[in-house]
Amino acid sequence: MNGRTSGQGTLRAEAVERMLAHRAEGPLRGLYAGLVCDLDGVVYRGSRAVPGAPDVLRQLVREGMRIVYATNNASRLPSEVAEHLSELGLPASSPDVVTSAQAGAAALAALLVPGSRVLALGGQGVSAALAEVGLEPVQPARSASGAPPAAVLQGLGRELTVQDFESAARHLADGAVWVATNGDATLPMEWGLAPGNGAYVTLLAQTVGRDPLVVGKPHAPLYQASVERLGTTLEATLAVGDRLDTDIAGAVAAGLDSAWVLTGVHPPSELLRQPEGGVPTWVISHLAELEQPYAAVLRSDDGYTCAGGWARATSEGLDLKPGPADPIELVRAGLAAALDARGSGLLTGVGLGEVAAQLDALLSGSRSG
């Protein structure tokens, strides 16, 4: 493909090759001993469980798979997250939840002597995570008394004040180590988007002239902490998420296989927009497909096939023949064809928009739940 002559084309060519490389003759879950599971969009949407997700995860636990739930949300305690999951019918207790606050505290514990004072700039989850690893959490209002904090751990806190950020800026200017739980710029609310932790991280970074170590998705530390909690190896662990730019990119950064599940924010067409954000090992429409064999994409003379479904990309859109394939298998074939065509320069503009709409329509029923 001549798309290999450009950076974007190379990334898309690699995405196609990766999609062609994987298949599972038996159930997909049989390839792994542990599962790192994202929450919003995979397990629940808002306050409601994603249809079928609790049943699948309970079955996986019965079959011996170890599961942890990894979240960028640093404000909530693991016990609170576990309680929410249990109410939805999922098998979860506090040790089954790994937060970005815990990943941040672990990173600081590796850098500081036990008992070091750390400014806890965030919600209750930040302070609790620091205490768990033997560090002393110090609230911003009290940071001026006693020994100066050796570090700042910054996570989202809805009760933080301007004075709290001023206290953090003062200690950061004096050289305190700085770790941020996550860089999410926005926080979804019922009414729209509010500033997320990343927005406040940017505020401090512009003030003090340096950037923190960020541990949450799409960076590797949260996934590394999750694998450590599972007691598995990287090779035996699967990360499941609905976002390419956080969940899948973070798994790639940590060296984990990943399953991109299409029940959340990102529709199939998102892979055409940002393959550089992270190419998934597997593409599934819902968690139940972890219990099924995985049909691989195969290249044919005039397109791509998957379980009898066939797809070919043209400058105007996708030619599709479902055959006996399930919709997700046709999506896989369509993605491979579209990535190939866009990488070679065949698919642009109006044609690319048409392909995106066709791919997303294939799973519109399953995505609506």
Residues taking part in catalysis:
38, 40
Classify 318 in phi/psi space as left (phi over 0), alpha (psi -120 to 50) or beta.
beta
Q: Which of 198, 196, 218, 195 is nearest to 206 (CA)?
A: 198
Query: CA nearest 14: which of 353, 253, 342?
Result: 342
- Using CA atoms, how far apart are residues 20 and 140, in angstroms rounded to an integer? 52
For residue 265, the number of C-alpha atoms closer than 13 Å in the C-beta half-sphere is 13
The SS3 call for residue 343 is helix
Task: Give the C-alpha separation, 355 to 97, whole Å.
Answer: 38
User: In which region does residue 140 sit, left (phi positive, over 0), alpha (psi from -120 to 50) or beta (all else)?
Assistant: alpha
**Whole-angstrom distance, CA of residue 101 vs CA of residue 31:** 30
Report the DSSP pairing between strands 309-314 and 303-306: antiparallel
First to last CA, the chain: 38
Give me the residues paired with residue 71 across strands: 99
